[in-house]
Amino acid sequence: MRALKEAKNLGIETVYQDKAVIGCLNVAQNIFIGRQPVRYFGPFRFLDKNKMRKEADRLAKNLNLHISYPDQDVSFCSGGEIQGVAISRAMYFKAKLVILDEPTTTLAVSGVKKVLSFIERLKKEKIASIFVTHNLHHVYSVADRFMVLSRGEKIADVKKEETSIQDLENLQLRKMVTVI
């Protein structure tokens, strides 16, 4: 738990393949989970639900998420929208680095496109990202650099302009690899 807090303090956020959201909470609650804004009334603290809703709505619009309203249960979101909620969290809390661990693994084609669009948005916001995947076709269009690992050992580290998807696929055929 301490390492997680330290990472967040350094501006590192993670988007997990298993979505890292709580299905029984709404979109706004999932964006702010663990870091809910509060307002004070004398000695009492109250969740600032209006701020959570307002910011969640702004983030959803900013990322073109098709979420009806911020109080919508996240369980009613598509897979791509759920990943968008996790990415919204990273953007709101001003992440300097977002680590995406297999974010497209269980998504339909439309969800994959949405996640790739989110990654492009991170780039525009000058937020660095590491996209861990086994699927080159999901990452190739948005990547600037590829680090290829085989059983924990680095076997390639190349800029996109120095390689092709075919070259990277040939590495995958020779060894079991992960592209970062």
Each residue's pLDDT tens digit, 128-168: 999 998 888 888 999 999 998 887 888 889 999 999 999 98
The answer to whether the beta carbons of residues 48 and 37 sit under 8 Å apart is yes
Cβ neighbourhood burial of 161 (10 Å; 0-12, 13-18, 19+): exposed
Residue 153 three-state SS: strand
Write out the H or E segment, with its range, that includes residue 176. none
User: Residue range 39-59: average pLDDT?
Assistant: 93
Domain-located, residue 109: yes
Number of domains in the chain: 1
Q: Tell me the pLDDT tens digit for each residue of 11-35.
A: 898 888 776 788 899 999 999 988 8
**CATH value at residue 66:** 3.40.50.300
Q: Tell me the pLDDT tens digit for each residue of 62-114.
A: 777 888 888 889 888 888 888 888 888 887 888 899 998 888 887 778 878 88
Domain-located, residue 156: no
Alpha-carbon dihedral angle through residues 68, 20, 18, 146, given to the nearest 10 degrees: 100
Q: What is the pLDDT of residue 11?
A: 87
Domain-located, residue 119: yes
- Provide the pLDDT confidence category of residue 177 given band limits of 50, 70 and 90: low
- Provide the pLDDT confidence category of residue 174 given band limits of 50, 70 and 90: low
Q: What is the pLDDT of residue 61?
A: 84
Spatial separation of the C-alpha atoms in residues 68 and 105, rounded to whole Å: 25
Q: Which domain holds residue 17?
A: 2-143
User: Residue range 1-11: average pLDDT?
Assistant: 81
Domain-located, residue 166: no
DSSP 108: -
User: Residue range 54-58: average pLDDT?
Assistant: 92
Domain-located, residue 43: yes
The answer to whether the beta carbons of residues 136 and 172 sit under 8 Å apart is yes
Q: DSSP characters for 32-82?
A: HTTS--EEEETTEEEE-HHHHHHHHHHHHHHTT---S-TTSBGGGS-HHHH
